[in-house]
């Protein structure tokens, strides 16, 4: 009996152990199944810009050494996507120069990126950019899935490792052939496109044939080599070797496609009137005019590029600068434009072009002047002055063509009398055409083309000499003396003469300081070069102590707070001695607010103070001369550095 009980107990224990072991094993198996794959943080190099990465939010690992000034950063706290990702992280303080993980999140583009010096990195100012980003510590947020590999906007990235870059279908362009760029949405939609194309039955295999060639073979001699096809789109028919679509067999012109007139390299936007008042017949005349201009301009990648925006109630881009790369294709596209109707909201259309049209993604080349030709039937139904001012300040050369203007009885309905002169780049007649009736419009083709191509006279194109608000901070202390003060004013005048001065170009302001400060004149007081030079000549010598730090604070408040957001802000401070107050904090505030500061020291000026006041690197922004009579030697150096810095800025 006892033996039976012991046997039963042993069996129960054995069964329990079996169940326990089985349960533990099952638990382990389930744990294996539900165990999440480990997140791999992709690595990038210091020179990778945020704009090259398509992902809207991602975590990356930066290497050491990204504090190097070669890796440009634009902005403070919020950075333009043209910036180095890792350089921005060091500037913001998220990383030090030893590298590490960061979280990057894309945000909307903005105007007025402020340059500043922080954590060993000098960020630069930028008037505007199409996309921004912010950086923070590289800690994953709950509920957010981050990519283990990054998607780049081009097939090659400086940081791309094998298997990390998602590529659009592409091929190298043949010499003399303009490759059509792959639209961004097409790149983003790569996954959606793959696997959805139509599959055709395979033909019987023949000797020497391969199954890898899905492209149609070129037929006969063509004027250009055919590039690789774009990504196959849903519903498209794949052609096997030897078969040609009917469209390929149709008769086409075999004349070589022009690369464009290199003597007329401009980026051109036509704003055409699609309002209801114009009527169908006049709309057709307007389209014929555009086609004639396109033919006369000789459109091409080495010459002028042209896009069209139609406006009514609201503007819409018919096609951008890179859509059609020759006059023939452009004329065909113009013929297909249909009238939209609505009001004649010209001001809204100009604002739209300023903010959206002249961007890199739309084909803007940066090196070519931006030109907008506005066509108006009668008069606008909204105001154009402010929108046009912003366009001019953004470097856009505005031409106006007005047809059948308001009669004396109709002028009471015009919101802005003389609206064309308020809109164009200059009121000297060069930028305006007044056409009495639509049937005379064709006579304007050649005069317009001649003026558009006269790039030396396109005065609104942004340059280093016409795109800044410059504030001179002048030491009027007792140690300067009356005679030397006049020499300082001559130095200020010599610098000012180098710039193109107007209310939409470079503007000049001046502050004189001792223990106290005095605003001699602000940016909005004088709008011509003669007036500015006369105002400088009239500045009276004050005499007193030297409080340079207080003068910088005063200039920031009284001058640069009133600077326009799309202007570069330049402070040029001239002093002959050490300041009685601290200059470090005021200088740091100026740098943080995006004011590029030049410090010019004379005689007893302290070199260490000049370097603190000057924007980094000090060797480009701080200058010293031993006596006032040598100030003139600094003028070309300052101008050269201002232009070098401007030309290094990216363009949209």
Q: Which of 109-123, 228-242, 293-307, 493-507 has the lowest mean pLDDT?
A: 228-242
Band of the pLDDT at 155, cuts 50, 70, 90?
very low
pLDDT for residue 640 is more than 70: yes
Band of the pLDDT at 457, cuts 50, 70, 90?
confident
Please state the rounded mean pLDDT for residues 362-389.
89
pLDDT for residue 207 is more than 70: no
pLDDT for residue 635 is more than 90: yes
CA-nearest of 256, 608, 264, 596 to 452 is 264
Query: Given strand 316-319, what is the order of strands in its sheet?
Result: 316-319, 305-311, 267-273, 370-377, 396-403, 432-435
pLDDT for residue 363 is more than 80: yes
Mean pLDDT for all residues in the chain = 81
pLDDT for residue 237 is more than 60: no
Please state the rounded mean pLDDT for residues 464-477.
92
pLDDT of residue 23: 60
Q: Which domains, from first to last, does the chain contain? A: 35-161 (2.170.130.20), 264-457 (3.40.50.410), 468-647 (3.40.50.410)
Please state the rounded mean pLDDT for residues 528-534.
95
Q: How far apart, in whole angstroms, are the C-alpha atoms of residue 49 and residue 126? A: 15
Which residue did the predictor score with more confidence, 185 or 132? 132
pLDDT for residue 213 is more than 60: no
Phi and psi, residue 57, nearest 5° = -150, 135
pLDDT of residue 212: 35
Q: How far apart, in whole angstroms, are the C-alpha atoms of residue 413 and residue 409? A: 9
Q: How far apart, in whole angstroms, are the C-alpha atoms of residue 310 and residue 352? A: 11
pLDDT of residue 238: 35
pLDDT for residue 229 is more than 50: no
Please state the rounded mean pLDDT for residues 514-520.
97
Band of the pLDDT at 573, cuts 50, 70, 90?
very high
> CB-side exposure of 549: number of CA atoms within 13 Å?
13
- Planar angle of CA 357, 363, 366, nearest 5 degrees: 90
Map residue 308 onto helix, strand or coil.
strand
Q: How far apart, in whole angstroms, are the C-alpha atoms of residue 461 and residue 371? A: 9
Maximal CA-CA distance, the chain: 129
Distance of CA 378 to the CA centre of its chain: 34
CA-nearest of 272, 276, 286, 287 to 400 is 272
In order of 323, 479, 513, 518, the CA distances from 542 in angstroms are 61, 11, 8, 9
pLDDT of residue 367: 74
CA-nearest of 424, 489, 423, 480 to 457 is 424
Q: pLDDT exceeding 90 applies to what percent of the chain?
A: 54
Q: Which of 60-64, 212-216, 419-423, 513-517 has the lowest mean pLDDT?
A: 212-216
Which residue did the predictor score with more confidence, 196 or 397? 397
Enumerate the β-bridge partners of residue 452: none
> CB-side exposure of 340: number of CA atoms within 13 Å?
18
Q: How far apart, in whole angstroms, are the C-alpha atoms of residue 157 and residue 72? A: 17
Q: How far apart, in whole angstroms, are the C-alpha atoms of residue 133 and residue 57? A: 9
Burial (CB count within 10 angstroms: exposed 0-12, middle 13-18, buried 19+), residue 157: buried
pLDDT of residue 365: 86
In order of 167, 330, 389, 519, 626, the CA distances from 614 in angstroms are 44, 50, 32, 21, 18
pLDDT for residue 24 is more than 70: no
Please state the rounded mean pLDDT for residues 73-78.
91
pLDDT of residue 582: 94
Please state the rounded mean pLDDT for residues 179-187.
37
Could you read off the pLDDT of 392-433 as tens digits, one per residue? 878 899 999 998 876 666 666 677 777 888 888 788 889 999
Q: Which of 175-179, 306-310, 633-637 has the lowest mean pLDDT?
A: 175-179
pLDDT for residue 191 is more than 60: no
pLDDT for residue 144 is more than 50: yes
pLDDT for residue 496 is more than 90: yes
pLDDT of residue 6: 57
Q: Which of 208-212, 253-257, 283-287, 625-629 has the lowest mean pLDDT?
A: 208-212
Which residue did the predictor score with more confidence, 174 or 153? 153
Tally DSSP H helices, then E strands, for the chain.
18, 19
Please state the rounded mean pLDDT for residues 586-604.
95
Please state the rounded mean pLDDT for residues 311-318.
96
pLDDT of residue 259: 84
pTM of the model: 0.54
pLDDT of residue 37: 60
Please state the rounded mean pLDDT for residues 512-527.
96
CA-nearest of 558, 612, 560 to 585 is 612
Q: pLDDT exceeding 70 applies to what percent of the chain?
A: 76
Q: Which of 11-25, 26-40, 154-168, 526-540 has the lowest mean pLDDT?
A: 154-168
279-297 vs 327-335: helix crossing angle, rounded to 10: 170
Could you read off the pLDDT of 622-633 as tens digits, one per residue? 999 999 999 999
Cβ distance 73 to 123 under 8 Å? yes
Q: How far apart, in whole angstroms, are the C-alpha atoms of residue 378 and residue 406? A: 6
> CB-side exposure of 369: number of CA atoms within 13 Å?
25
Cβ distance 570 to 526 under 8 Å? no
The dihedral sign for the CA sequence 252, 258, 264, 266 = positive
Q: Which residues of 233-262 are buried (b: 16+ CB within 10 A; e: fewer)?
A: eeeeeebbeeeeeeebeeeeeeeebbbbbe
pLDDT of residue 30: 55
Token couple for 217: 């073979």
In order of 284, 339, 565, the CA distances from 118 in angstroms are 58, 53, 22
CB-based contacts of 338: which residues, under 8 Å, 6+ apart?
none
pLDDT of residue 366: 77
Please state the rounded mean pLDDT for residues 347-371.
90
pLDDT for residue 609 is more than 80: yes
Which residue did the predictor score with more confidence, 523 or 207? 523
Burial (CB count within 10 angstroms: exposed 0-12, middle 13-18, buried 19+), residue 101: middle
Q: Which of 151-160, 355-364, 486-495, 557-566 has the lowest mean pLDDT?
A: 151-160
pLDDT for residue 330 is more than 60: yes
Enumerate the β-bridge partners of residue 110: 129
CA-nearest of 428, 352, 342 to 380 is 342
pLDDT of residue 173: 36
pLDDT of residue 611: 96
Map residue 54 onto helix, strand or coil.
coil
């Amino acid at each position: 009996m006892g033996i039976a009980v012991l046997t039963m107990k042993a069996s129960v224990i054995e069964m329990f152990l079996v169940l326990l072991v089985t349960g533990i094993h099952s638990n382990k198996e389930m744990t294996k199944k539900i165990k999440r794959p480990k997140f791999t943080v992709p690595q990038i190099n210091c020179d990778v810009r945020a704009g090259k990465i398509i992902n809207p939010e991602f975590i990356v690992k930066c290497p050491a050494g990204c504090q190097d000034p070669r890796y440009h950063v634009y902005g403070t706290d919020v950075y333009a996507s043209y910036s180095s990702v890792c350089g921005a992280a060091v500037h913001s303080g998220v990383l030090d120069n030893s590298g590490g993980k960061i979280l990057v999140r894309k945000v909307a583009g903005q105007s007025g990126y402020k340059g500043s010096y922080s954590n060993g990195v000098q960020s630069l100012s930028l008037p505007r950019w199409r996309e921004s980003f912010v950086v923070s510590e590289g800690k994953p947020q709950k509920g957010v899935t981050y990519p283990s590999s990054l998607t780049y906007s081009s097939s090659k990235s400086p940081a791309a490792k094998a298997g990390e870059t998602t590529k659009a279908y592409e091929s190298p362009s043949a010499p003399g052939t303009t490759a059509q760029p792959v639209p961004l949405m097409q790149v983003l939609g790569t996954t959606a496109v793959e696997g959805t194309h139509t599959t055709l039955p395979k033909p019987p295999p023949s000797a020497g044939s391969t199954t890898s060639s899905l492209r149609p073979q070129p037929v006969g001699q063509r004027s250009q080599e055919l590039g690789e096809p774009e990504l196959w789109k849903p519903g498209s028919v794949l052609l096997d070797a030897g078969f040609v679509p009917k469209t390929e067999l149709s008769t086409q012109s075999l004349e070589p496609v022009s690369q464009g007139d290199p003597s007329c390299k401009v980026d051109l936007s036509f704003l055409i009137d699609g309002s209801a008042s114009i009527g169908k017949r006049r709309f057709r005349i307007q389209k014929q005019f555009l086609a004639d201009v396109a033919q006369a301009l000789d459109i091409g990648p080495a010459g002028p590029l042209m896009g069209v925006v139609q406006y009514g109630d609201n503007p819409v881009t018919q096609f951008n600068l890179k859509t059609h790369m020759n006059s023939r294709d452009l004329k065909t596209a113009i013929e297909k434009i249909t009238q939209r109707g609505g009001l004649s909201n010209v001001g809204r259309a100009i604002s739209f072009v300023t903010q959206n049209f002249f961007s890199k993604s739309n084909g803007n080349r940066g090196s070519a002047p931006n030109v907008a030709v506005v066509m108006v039937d009668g008069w606008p139904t909204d105001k154009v002055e402010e929108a046009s001012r912003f366009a001019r300040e953004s470097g856009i050369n505005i031409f106006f063509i007005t047809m059948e203007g308001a009669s004396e009885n109709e002028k009471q309905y015009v919101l802005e009398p003389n609206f064309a002169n308020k809109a164009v780049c200059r009121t000297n007649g060069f930028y305006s055409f007044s056409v009495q009736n639509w049937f005379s419009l064709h006579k304007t083709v050649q005069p317009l083309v001649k003026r558009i191509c006269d790039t030396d006279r396109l005065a609104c194109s942004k340059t280093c000499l016409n795109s800044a608000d410059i504030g001179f901070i002048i030491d009027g202390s007792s140690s300067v003396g009356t005679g030397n003060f006049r020499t300082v004013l001559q130095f200020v005048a010599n610098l000012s003469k180098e710039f193109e001065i107007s209310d939409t170009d470079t503007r000049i302001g001046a502050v004189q300081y001792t223990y106290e400060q005095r605003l001699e004149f602000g940016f909005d007081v004088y709008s011509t070069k003669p007036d500015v030079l006369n105002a400088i000549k009239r500045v009276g010598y004050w005499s007193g102590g030297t409080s340079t730090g207080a003068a910088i604070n005063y200039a920031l408040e009284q001058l640069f707070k009133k600077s326009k957001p799309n202007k570069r802000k330049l402070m040029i401070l001239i002093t002959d001695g050490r300041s009685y107050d601290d200059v470090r904090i005021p200088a740091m505030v100026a740098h943080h607010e995006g004011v590029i500061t030049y410090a010019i020291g004379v005689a007893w000026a302290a070199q260490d103070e000049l370097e603190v006041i000057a924007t980094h690197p000090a060797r480009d922004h701080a200058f010293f001369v031993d006596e006032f009579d040598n100030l003139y030697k600094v003028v070309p150096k300052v101008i050269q550095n201002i232009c070098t810095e401007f030309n290094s800025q990216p363009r949209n």
